[in-house]
Structure 1
């Protein structure tokens, strides 16, 4: 019996770690490289909905995810001074209705669980990234920033919106980024609002701020979305990103002020322009993209994590079906996933003031059939 192809996965976020889990489950030799020096702490709460819940059940992770969900008690609308205006204990803005089966969990918690489940925590090559990809007759020669070049049969780009793998092997330019006219900053700060376990939110025409307590109960995760033309030079300038965020939050005072001031000292800070990724194709030869690298829907969709989890399964399943023909496997993966992605990208409406209507979200979250996903079959293999 011929050996399965060797696979290199670039990126240890949700998409990369879930893809590594499924590939290892199907028997593929997998290497993961991650540019960051370790699994990233901090970040916003993410949601697992619809068919993505079936995927994590099949992975045997559902109970662990449930145990570490955010468990927010509701939504508290705040004014410019951080004072409560109204309370809704039936839902949150970020996670939807509290009586739904959806799981809201912090991104870093989810990544740690995925890394442990994949057996990848010690095997991820951190502080490393791909510098060049060169096709051979049977695979891809990969050059790295720190280690010697190696050849892999297949390369998977799970390296986010600004994917280096995408630029090098699938789509060279940034014209696949469709700007949504804004930017989003996430960071951690001491809890100065005391919202009693609720999510807090302030909204005006060009600014939206959402805060929620982390698992410790001592810190808040702060997300600030605002209208801005984001110059490409900002992508690698954290000081400039923090300065722009502070300017956009300058009209907030009172109980907000300590959260604004925390920008100066926080190490857990993420900033990105709001954009969707729209590509004519998600693969080229023996290289394929998954998650945001292929089809970012933006955080405003609330579905990026679910798309990554579902895409990881479909990509690995199709590669397992046709291990000797990666190109055919990638074509089948894209054919299955693209209608699902289209539904979820369509959730984003920058003129909408409230959350996505529940019926539209449910339709998008369940917009793909996974007849080849059997929870009993896969989760039993973990025992």
Structure 2
């Protein structure tokens, strides 16, 4: 069977890998001209580690571990207020996971693991889908029209496949209350292998704000992160310069290292900007089209990558178990993952207001409450029990041996 997958970030290549292992013929289409570099640090938690171990890729992933071993809250002078160690809340359930990797590095590993066996169509996108009894007719922005047995949307929160096959974005998206940006920056201060976070009250015409510096394997380079609470602001998703100006405008009165971070952001060539958004889709498939990853369960805190990897494994396995009968496989895929996805998608305690307090008093109260929780046996409540959730699903082997380590 020929399966078209839209999106070549994490979920798409992971699915392509397992489909190929099961004997399907996957094709990946990706709007970007090449695998996307950069991006923030992401976590591999719980059962997702089992999947990458079965892919034989764990050694490669560990070799590119960022080395981050905790997160520290600081004040305007850089004084450390409290910290979360990577192992404080379990091997994969803490604020900072024991195993973290830059998104671009994980994308590169998955691409290298599939590029010799899977067809990639970079710099292209799906423009229409037409389902019939024998398959799905697909047109592309650049490639010639083709027909596939199945189409999978692994193309993110603003999924084109979901829009074409399921309906307008507004039917499935819930606003998260803030904007965020991620970009490369000089390290600026001694991070000591820890992510630094600094909160600021409302100002510059927006609500509560937060800045972060995330270390990488290169001691001279970090990932800068800027968050600010506000109503949705209109912007052109293709106009990067305008997006940078929008972010800079939200931090005109900022202190700590933020002015220097803004300078780095304006010069960065790997700038990422998005509105925090949650995705909810009641039925994950329509006929021969199904959704995977952020296109169907985006918006979780700390579990998005893990859900994408686990979901890819299960979707490919259920298609193999059903011998390609998509109606059986898609139903089994959703049934097996539904509770796991529901639990992974629960918001963190405190939500956006806890993350981005709008006043100095609110920041002090949040910080004092966090210190109190870290000092007691209830510290697990800070992350909503992610350690347990990350390991709650048991994976079938779907008849495949574990791939030798590469």
- TM (normalized to structure 1)? 0.90
* Deviations 1:212-239 (CA, angstroms, capped at 9, x unpaired): 1222222110112221222454433322
- Matched residue, 1:371: 396
C-alpha separation in 2, matches of 1:240 and 1:269: 12
* Deviations 1:35-84 (CA, angstroms, capped at 9, x unpaired): 01111111100001111111111111112111211112433333335x23
- Kept in 2, the 8 Å contact 1:75–1:92? The answer is no
For the structure 1 residues 295 and 173, does the alpha-carbon distance in structure 2 shift closer, same or farther, using more than 3 Å as the test? same
In the TM superposition, residue 254 of structure 1 has moved relative to its aligned partner by: 5.0
Alignment of 1:49-198 (within 5 A): 49-80=45-76, 83-86=78-81, 88=83, 90-91=85-86, 97=94, 102-119=98-115, 123-198=119-194
- Matched residue, 2:362: none
- Kept in 1, the 8 Å contact 2:5–2:154? The answer is yes
For the structure 1 residues 314 and 239, does the alpha-carbon distance in structure 2 shift closer, same or farther, using more than 3 Å as the test? same
In the TM superposition, residue 369 of structure 1 has moved relative to its aligned partner by: 2.0
In the TM superposition, residue 363 of structure 1 has moved relative to its aligned partner by: 2.0
Q: Gaps spanning 5+ residues in structure 1: where?
A: none
In the TM superposition, residue 31 of structure 1 has moved relative to its aligned partner by: 0.8
- Kept in 2, the 8 Å contact 1:181–1:228? The answer is yes
In the TM superposition, residue 89 of structure 1 has moved relative to its aligned partner by: 7.0
- TM (normalized to structure 2)? 0.85
C-alpha separation in 2, matches of 1:89 and 1:50: 19
Name the SS of the counterpart of 1:208 in structure 2.
strand
Name the SS of the counterpart of 2:35 in structure 1.
coil
1:360 aligns with 2:356: no
1:259 alignment partner, one of 261, 264, 276:
261
For the structure 1 residues 324 and 256, does the alpha-carbon distance in structure 2 shift closer, same or farther, using more than 3 Å as the test? closer
- Matched residue, 1:317: 317
For the structure 1 residues 340 and 42, does the alpha-carbon distance in structure 2 shift closer, same or farther, using more than 3 Å as the test? same
C-alpha separation in 2, matches of 1:274 and 1:295: 13
* Deviations 1:142-192 (CA, angstroms, capped at 9, x unpaired): 101111100011111100000000000123342210111111111111222
C-alpha separation in 2, matches of 1:138 and 1:108: 37
In the TM superposition, residue 240 of structure 1 has moved relative to its aligned partner by: 2.5
Name the SS of the counterpart of 2:339 in structure 1.
helix
- Matched residue, 1:350: 352
C-alpha separation in 1, matches of 2:245 and 2:268: 13
Name the SS of the counterpart of 1:369 in structure 2.
coil
* Deviations 1:114-168 (CA, angstroms, capped at 9, x unpaired): 1111235984211010011111221011101111100011111100000000000
Name the SS of the counterpart of 1:250 in structure 2.
coil
- Matched residue, 1:270: 272
- Kept in 1, the 8 Å contact 2:187–2:213? The answer is no
* Deviations 1:3-31 (CA, angstroms, capped at 9, x unpaired): xx101111001111111111111111111
* Deviations 1:90-123 (CA, angstroms, capped at 9, x unpaired): 33999865997x4211100011111111235984
C-alpha separation in 2, matches of 1:134 and 1:154: 11
C-alpha separation in 1, matches of 2:325 and 2:99: 36
- Matched residue, 1:227: 229
- Kept in 2, the 8 Å contact 1:210–1:223? The answer is yes
303-312 vs 356-365, which deviates more? 356-365
69-78 vs 322-331, which deviates more? 69-78
For the structure 1 residues 237 and 356, does the alpha-carbon distance in structure 2 shift closer, same or farther, using more than 3 Å as the test? farther
For the structure 1 residues 359 and 292, does the alpha-carbon distance in structure 2 shift closer, same or farther, using more than 3 Å as the test? closer
1:279 alignment partner, one of 281, 284, 306:
281
1:25 aligns with 2:8: no
Aligned length in residues: 373
- Matched residue, 1:332: 332
- Kept in 2, the 8 Å contact 1:80–1:251? The answer is no
* Deviations 1:231-287 (CA, angstroms, capped at 9, x unpaired): 454433322321221122223235332211112211101111111100121111111
C-alpha separation in 1, matches of 2:238 and 2:37: 18
For the structure 1 residues 238 and 120, does the alpha-carbon distance in structure 2 shift closer, same or farther, using more than 3 Å as the test? farther
For the structure 1 residues 92 and 231, does the alpha-carbon distance in structure 2 shift closer, same or farther, using more than 3 Å as the test? farther
C-alpha separation in 1, matches of 2:325 and 2:119: 27
